[in-house]
Amino acid sequence: MKLKLTIASEELRLRALTIIKALSLEPVHEIIIHERKKDRSLEQNALYWKWLTVIGAELGESKEALHEHYKEKFLINIYERDCPDFAEMVQSLRAVWHHGMKEEALSLRKKIVALTSTSTANTHQMSEYMTAIEHDAASLAIHLPHPEDL
């Protein structure tokens, strides 16, 4: 049996306890509990792509090119700080660079950027990422719209 429960209320907590109490001891079951991190919201995602469109229009760049640029400039650092596995991958890349294999490191970096996705960002990470983009746009004198502006 595989069951995934999200405990977001007292009622759901009691339901989980009832299910656990009803489990037989054979076969042995494993229960893993972790804090649920909310993925970036649909609103954040929509605003993000709107911002890339505005910045792209000002700079003559495609929103897809800016998406790659900002992932490399800001999102990789956020994931490196927050995710040990991601940090290990980036440290390995730096080791390749420091061992003099610069072309290989650049090729790997491009692949890491391509694999880095905003869809895995939680709402806090996405907010931090978008704040960095907003500051970058402001430094270029580009005003970005906000939902309250509409």
- Taking only the tens place, the pLDDT of each residue in 73-110 is 999 999 999 999 988 988 898 998 998 998 988 888 89
The answer to whether position 8 is within a domain reads: no
The answer as to whether 37 is a domain residue is no
Q: Which residue, chain included where needed, has tokens 């596995």?
A: 85
Residue 35 lies in a domain: no
Rounded Cα gap, residues 75 and 129, in angstroms? 6
- Please indicate, yes or no, if residue 1 is contained in any of the structural domains: no
Q: Is 83 within a domain? A: yes
* pLDDT number for residue 105: 86
Is 36 part of any domain?
no
pTM score: 0.69
Does residue 7 belong to any structural domain of this protein? no
Widest CA span of the chain, in angstroms?
65
Secondary structure (H, E, C), the chain = CCCCCCCCCHHHHHHHHHHHHHCCCCCCCCCCCCCCCCECCHHHHHHHHHHHHHHHHHHCCCHHHHHHHHHHHHHHHHHHHHCHHHHHHHHHHHHHHHCCCHHHHHHHHHHHHHHCCHHHCEHHHHHHHHHHHHHHHHHCCCCCCCHHHC
Tokens of 36: 């649920």
In a domain, 30, yes or no: no
Mean pLDDT of the chain: 89
Q: Write out the two tokens for 51.
A: 């911002």
Q: How confident is the model at residue 68 (pLDDT cuts 50, 70, 90)?
A: very high
Q: How many domains are contained in the chain?
A: 1
Q: Which residues contact 15 (CB under 8 A, 6 or more apart)?
A: 5
Instruction: Report pLDDT digits (tens) over 30-52.
Output: 888 877 655 577 889 999 999 99
% of the chain at pLDDT higher than 70:
95
Q: What's the domain range around 73?
A: 42-149
